[in-house]
Chain A
Amino acid sequence: MGFPHPSHPKETVVLSQYFGDAEARGFDGWVARGGYEGLRKALSLTPEAIIDEVKASGLRGRGGAGFPTGLKWSFMPKGDGKPHYLVCNADESEPGTFKDREIMRWTPHALLEGCAIAAYAIGAERCYIYIRGEFTEPLKIMAGAVEEANAKGALGGNAFGSGKRIEMLIHRGAGAYICGEETAMMNSIEGKRGNPRIKPPFPAVAGLFGMPTTINNVETLAAVPHILVRGADWYKGLCRGNPKSTGTKLISICGHVQRPGNYEVTMGTPLKEILYDMAGGPPAGREFKAVIPGGSSVPIMTIAEAEDALFDYEGIVAKGSMLGSAGMIVMDDSTDMVYQIWRLAKFYAHESCAQCTQCREGTAWTTKILERILSGKGRQEDFELLLDLSENMTGKTICVLSDSCAAPVVSGIQKFRDEFEAYIQGSRQPALAAG
């Protein structure tokens, strides 16, 4: 539902049904709403059966990478005798994204149920839920929910009397966007600097504490109980014609729209419907100009491209961007694109972990070049410089933070070159003081 706005008829409400419903937070309230049926059912199945069901559903990672979830679970070794771990990625720091926060603060037990099913399916007895340090409300609510679920015997040493151990542990982050990267998250849990790791080895082989590990996003895990209860076919059926993108997606729409919030749509919904019907279009007297559909790390789309796009993994790629986390940042014609691209570069420069040369130095240099342009000292050569620098920063590093900084720069120059030209040629007043 378009929390904090009422549900829109064009939404498909599954995960967000109880957003805003304080009663849904408690264990009993959740059970009354059908909660924990999925876990009970899962515990009566074999892990293989659960993995097959999730595979069949077509569920893909909702954190940004879109990797098929069932397939990811199947990478975990069987019968290896080592402790397995599940990590729930609740670091939600991608600019524009604010869906996991809502799942945690309104339906914490939905997340716990999904984690429990996943943990059981991959042979993990312990799940670490990594919540970013700033999410004080979700941290409190999730901690309370874990305590309740343990007390009620849904989790703990003997989940629902099945004899299976499923332990949940909340691990608080401390202010680092990069810890949302799965290998950096594992390092952070281990008490290290949040540096991404080189792959191979892959987490399913040697992950947390060197043991086989699966990392999943909050939204991905929250979908799992529904798949167990209503079936893979039901979930697969939630699609608008592209069998590769099934189910629903929470879109965090923010920026210059009348009704910012989280809207849940069936994969393949036309983006135009999301922008105009659900989010209510631009503010009065303004026109949309640009859309960043998947959190700030994906290429910027012009409104023309966005209006033409279908909202699923392949549909957004077809229009030159990526679905990512579906943190949709919408900008109207009052937006200074150069300024916002600079602000995004500044974000990446702040968050770089400092391992790779291209990212550590390149994000900062990109920021400085854009600052110079914004302060009226830009030159024509800066276009080539920015594009060359962005190319040097793409596809060459341990993780994709470097590429993510390049994405808005390259797409920004491609599609909004006139705004850069205005600063360089002096027809626009500097937005920043020089020096």
Chain B
Amino acid sequence: MTSELVTVTIDGAPVRVPKGTTIIEAAKQVGVLIPHYCYHPSLPSPAVCRMCLVEVEKAPKLAPACVTTVAEGQVVHVNSAAAKKAREGVLELLLINHPLDCPICDQAGECELQNYVFQEGRAGTRYSEYAKRYNPVEDFGPDVLYVPNRCILCTRCVRFMDDVAGAPVLNVSERGDRAYIGIAQEQKLDHPWSGNVVDLCPVGSLLSKDFLHKARAWDLDKAASVCSGCTQGCNVTIDTRDDVVVRIRPRPNLEVNRHFICDHGRLSYRWMNRGDRVEAPLVRDGARHLASDWDSARARAEQVLRGASGRAVVLASGRASTESLGLVRQMVARFEVTAAVQVPLGDEAPLPGVPDLALRRERAPNLVGAELLGYTRAWDAAVRQAASAAVVVLLDPDLGPAEEAVLSGARGVLLVLATVATGSWPTAEVILPVTSVAEETGTYVNRDRRVQLFHQAKAQPGMARPAWWVAAGLLAGEAGRAPATASEAFRRLSDWWPVFGGMTHADLGYSGRVLGAEAPAEVAG
């Protein structure tokens, strides 16, 4: 693509785009979505579905918009009679063998075949006396089912596995209307990124077993979030139904994960629905803890902190938000602070077709955020220090029995902020219920120092509050001006950590912003 610009007119609207831009991408710039199936901005274009045929003045035939590049002065009609008739024709032909499965098909409500047929397909079929092609459902592997009867042979799945995942385990088998997507006999679709074929499938042909028959698309509420699986920080959408997380799907971000997420991130959401939560603030009363209210609990915490001096050790989960990590750290600022963040490790799994995209070894979404805020990865040393520290603050880490034993025997004040009620903390002054990434708005900083905003997806359970809110109420000298929103909390971080450079939530949009980078130019996502 050169920087030479070309002017074309699409459905009457002029648009200037770099030479080499396809008509389908140029059309997006003026808000015209050309219906398509096989085209995908992250896959090579084969132009086989023929849905995107548009009328180009002075050209003898309709042109496929996904592979036809713009030319100076071109006049394109997306909604002329000829183009609409062509699309109506394609839709009719796709439906002749497509089963009337909508009532039992997972894709209903988010199905591109439904959408376009409703928008501009024929009202009734002319293919009424013949049997439809039939093939049985196939289990492709760990999470993917293939329903051949619904397949429209767009080949997105094959191209993804071939060109993006670099693992050609899917093929198109046979020829003509007998064609179907095949997998080699002994193989399974177990590539660490293979779940993306389910999202790529425009219809309900490739399905996730995990999501099978779980919820109707129109019953889902969606929240823009960030995957909490590793330091890559893929953008996701969390789908909930009745406040239960039922699915994670990728959210496009051309700078981070393009249109994909790995299977690990996709399928790690059940912990968000755990019921064994700390339900209310618990305050120690002798050898037991009594449920209390926030004011009383914070008053107790404030009291014990006031009475302590020396070293404070903060042990934090790698899933804690930047706001929470920051304000908790600031809460003990007058102590000598040792702060450590927990980083579980796993195997790296790159996606070869996208530069700099992989499931990272460091399975902590906010490792970089934590490090910017003065947390280290020296976990074991910090735990040992906690045994003799004046104050120990646990920010929802996942502790093993040995670590719990050390901390239970600690001499100092123990303040526990926890999502789940698994540990037993007989010596904790307070056990305060906090929210998870799914239950609050906040930010993570990914491995490329991109600050990304995640939005609340489900209600805060019980009396849980974001950890930053808990800490805000305990900040010294803040009476009356402690941050009251996540946005304010984030903005205040710059007061104590100049590296954040005055960044605010408003700067982040839906694609995030790299620390220290200029604001990005207006780009189509």
Contact = CB atoms under 8 A, between A and B. Distances in A.
Given A355-B46, A360-B176, A377-B129, A198 B97 contact: no
Interface string A337-366: 000000000000111111111101111110
A354 B48 CA distance: 9
Contact of B176 (A349, A377, A396): A349
A349 B129 contact: no
A286 interface: no
B18 interface: no
B176 A353 contact: yes
Given A361-B94, A363-B176, A396-B53, A356 B89 contact: no
Contact of A360 (B61, B129, B177): B177
A154 B327 CA distance: 85
Interface residues of A, number: 28
Given A365-B96, A397-B50, A354 B90 contact: no
Contact of B177 (A354, A396, A397, A398): A354
B89 A396 contact: yes
Main secondary structure of the interface of B (DSSP, over half): loop
Contacts of B89: 358, 392, 396
Contacts of A356: 48-50
Interface string B97-135: 100000000000000000000000000001101100000
A361 B47 contact: no
A361 B178 CA distance: 10
A364 B177 contact: yes
A349 B50 contact: no
B67 interface: yes
Interface in A194-211: 198
B174 A357 contact: no
A351 B176 CA distance: 7
A397 B62 CA distance: 9
Contacts of A353: 175-176
A364 B176 contact: yes
Contact of A396 (B62, B126, B178): B62
B222 to A, nearest CB: 31
Contacts of B126: 385
A326 B178 CA distance: 31
A361 B175 contact: no
B483 interface: no
Contacts of A142: none
A349 B133 CA distance: 14
A357 B152 contact: yes
Contacts of A360: 93, 153, 176-177, 179
23 contacts: A198-B67, A349-B176, A352-B176, A352-B177, A353-B175, A354-B172, A354-B174, A354-B175, A355-B46, A357-B50, A357-B51, A357-B93, A357-B153, A358-B89, A358-B93, A360-B93, A360-B179, A361-B177, A363-B176, A365-B93, A385-B126, A392-B85, A396-B53
Interface of B: 46-51, 53, 61-62, 64, 67, 85-86, 89-90, 92-94, 96-97, 126-127, 129-130, 152-153, 172, 174-179
Query: Which 9 residue pairs spanning A and B have beta carbons closest together?
Result: A392-B89, A354-B179, A361-B93, A352-B176, A364-B177, A355-B48, A395-B61, A357-B90, A198-B47
